């Protein structure tokens, strides 16, 4: 998660929001570091998780990221959760919970419970205080 916090700082320096996604393969090796690029791409769907899915699926020439794990600094939004489920991501670990003022405040765990065809494991609270502090400090 500390690598994700550094990636989120990079996002802000590039004019984007402080959200990051780190992806590891089945052996736990980092295969991609990505972040929010909404402002950069002028695309409201260019969240770190969605960007990572697009990059990896194209690079690996597959629609399935089965066996890959995503680490995100904030709880994935419903759109990102749906994208990870469609891409068959095995699991996602996140830092801070999404604020109650989020665009669509539905818990990632609640969405994962509904994923019957392509299940995804979700666990939050990893370095939650640090992730929340960063998000609060940089989202000004």
The set of residues, in sequence order, having a beta carbon less than 8 Å from that of 79 and lying 6+ positions away, is 45, 47, 50, 104
Rounded to whole angstroms, the Cα distance separating 18 from 53 reads 18
Please confirm, yes or no, whether 34 is among the known catalytic residues: no
Q: How many helices (H) and strands (E) does the chain have?
A: 6, 5
Please identify which of the residues 7, 34, 49, 75 carries the catalytic annotation: 49
Q: Which residues are catalytic?
A: 49
């Amino acid at each position: 998660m500390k690598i994700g916090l550094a990636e989120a700082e990079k996002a802000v320096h590039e004019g984007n929001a402080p959200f990051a996604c780190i992806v590891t393969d089945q052996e736990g090796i980092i295969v991609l570091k990505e972040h929010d690029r909404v402002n950069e791409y002028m695309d409201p769907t260019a969240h770190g998780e969605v960007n990572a899915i697009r990059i990896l699926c194209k690079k690996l020439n597959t629609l399935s990221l089965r066996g890959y794990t995503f680490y995100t600094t904030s709880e994935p939004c419903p759109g990102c959760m749906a994208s990870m489920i469609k891409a068959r991501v095995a699991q996602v670990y996140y830092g801070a919970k999404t604020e109650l003022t989020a665009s669509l405040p539905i818990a990632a765990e609640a969405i994962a419970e509904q994923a019957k065809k392509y299940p995804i494991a979700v666990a939050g609270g990893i370095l939650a205080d640090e992730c929340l502090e960063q998000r609060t400090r940089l989202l000004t």
